[in-house]
Amino acid sequence: MHVLKAIEQRKSIRAFLDKPVSEEQINTLLDAARYAPSGVNTQPWSVVVVSGESKTNLQTKIERAFRSGDKGKRDYQYYPIEWKEPYKTRRKECGLLMYSTLDIKREDKERQMDQWAANYRAFDAPVMLLFFMDSGMQSGSFMDCGMFIQSVMLGALDLGLSTCPQAALADYQHIIKPELDFGHDKILLCGMALGYEDTEALVNSYRTPREEVGSFTEYFR
């Protein structure tokens, strides 16, 4: 697949087929993504691949915590404390687009909770990827890891796989780290669902809009 086409076609998938992803496929994907750039070649990323019984046990604990009212706490501040325009409107439109596609009414709190809880099962994808970096690294490494994560998502398309990057999984780093006995000295950046798209699932039928190039680009000649 051409790179430009892959960038355009990538989207967040929230329903997957019950079809396994092999360790060979995952290694092929990560083997390509490791060529992502990083400042002075620090390569600050660490990846944990969770599947099978380990995934079932982990997601059960996270979902139970979520439904009990435990909102978790990330290792870092992802979103702004105070939302301003145009980001406030974009955030609202994003949520409304998904709920309107699924015909989930504003007052239907139970269905809203069920839909959000699917985040913590990595949308029932066969594989959950977790991305970490050492806690001693600074802001530049967040950019490096972001480029690595994007490389993973684009590479997945070339292998016929689909993904959904999930900051929501980082909310429960206090469950994930002890459960896996990994990352106690690291920042959990995000998770990612990895598998084969269920093309018949309604939740996969919409795409969030993007701004035109002219709205965010300035040329100085």
Domain ranges for the chain, please list them: 3-76+120-202
Residue 89 is encoded by which pair of tokens?
């409107």
Residue 32 is encoded by which pair of tokens?
């390509």
Residue 126 pLDDT greater than 90, yes or no: yes
Three-class DSSP category at 213:
helix
What average pLDDT score do residues 84-105 get? 95
What average pLDDT score do residues 72-80 get? 96
Q: How many Å apart are CA 79 and CA 82, to the nearest integer?
A: 9
Contact 101, 205 (CB under 8 A): yes
Contact 157, 136 (CB under 8 A): no
User: For position 58, what pLDDT does the model report?
Assistant: 98
User: For position 74, what pLDDT does the model report?
Assistant: 96
User: For position 84, what pLDDT does the model report?
Assistant: 97
What average pLDDT score do residues 195-204 get? 97
Residue 29 pLDDT greater than 80, yes or no: yes
User: For position 65, what pLDDT does the model report?
Assistant: 97
The model carries a pTM of: 0.95
- Over pLDDT 70: what percentage of the chain? 100
Residue 1 pLDDT greater than 80, yes or no: no
What average pLDDT score do residues 118-126 get? 97
Average pLDDT over all residues of the chain:
97
User: For position 66, what pLDDT does the model report?
Assistant: 97
What average pLDDT score do residues 188-199 get? 98
Give the pLDDT band (50/70/90) at residue 106: confident
CATH architecture of 3-76+120-202: 3-Layer(aba) Sandwich (3.40)
Place of tokens 């083997």: 31
Segment 127-165, tens digit of pLDDT: 999 999 999 999 999 999 999 999 999 999 999 999 999
